[in-house]
Amino acid sequence: INKPHEQRPISRASSRTHGGNGISRAAPLEALLFDIDGTMCVSDPFHHRAFSELLQNLGYNGGAPITPEFGMAHMAGRSNEQIGRFLFPDWPQARLDAFFAEKEALFARYAGEGLREVPGLAELCRWARERGLKRAAVTNAPRANAELMIGILGLADFFQLVVAGEDCGEGRSKPCPDPYLRALDLLGASAERSLVFEDSVVGVQAGVAAGMPVVAVASESREAKVVAAGASMVVRDYRDAELWAALEAAAGAPKIDSEPSAVDA
């Protein structure tokens, strides 16, 4: 049987390991835990468009559009609760709830027009299923948002559970480790045998705090920040040669996955 990485297109110059290959610590690999936004799919442009339209209509920032850099610095990877406290610290909860309901409706419309996977994701998911690894999506996004993206990506039956932004209680979303610890508990997996995929600083911090090595999917401009947060490896996408070599070494021989999927937290 040919190994999967012998058949897939490979990028050979995009990854960086930091402090040794942290993935090797997780051998024999038991579970993969994925963030969604920016990690599984290219969603930031749709979030930015929705936020920018609403904030401009409200006269935020003097009516000037927010920049993508503003979004990455203050919104990426954060829960709506965290974003709301930053944008509108004096707003009552009811007004924040209405604002984010409108924002998520806009995001759903825009994402439906063009959300796409991070290159190589589908192959990684097939590989994980073939090896019978446990699988969870762990996100600061609202559950409806998370399920929308997973559905668009065609992965509704891939994940055995989804831990969403509202599942861990007020103030306990990423960068707290609680979402990842909850996923481990529900999967029946150990931190010592699990691996996290993330793209944001707060997400990397959460995975590391939960005791797991983290692979960060990040551009060169953000690499230093995710490394400072504790990422063991940085890749541009899932076609990376060094990533696949580390995964194959950590996972061992393939086996058929017969477990049920798509169980909510």
> Which of 148, 158, 147 minimizes the C-alpha distance to 125?
158
178 is catalytic: no
Q: Point out which residues pair with 16 in neighbouring strands.
A: 234
Quickly list H helices, 89-214.
93-114, 121-130, 143-152, 178-187, 201-209
37 is catalytic: yes
Question: Do 16 and 223 touch, CB atoms closer than 8 A?
Answer: yes
Eight-state DSSP code of residue 215: E
From the list 37, 167, 178, 240, the catalytic residue is 37
Q: How far apart are CA 171 and CA 94, in angstroms?
A: 18
Q: Which of 35, 167, 178, 199 is flagged as catalytic?
A: 35
Print burial letters for 83-96: b (CB count within 10 Å at least 16), e (below 16): bbeebeeeeeeeeb
Could you please report the per-residue DSSP string of 222-237?
GHHHHHHHT-SEEESS
As annotated, the active-site residues are 35, 37
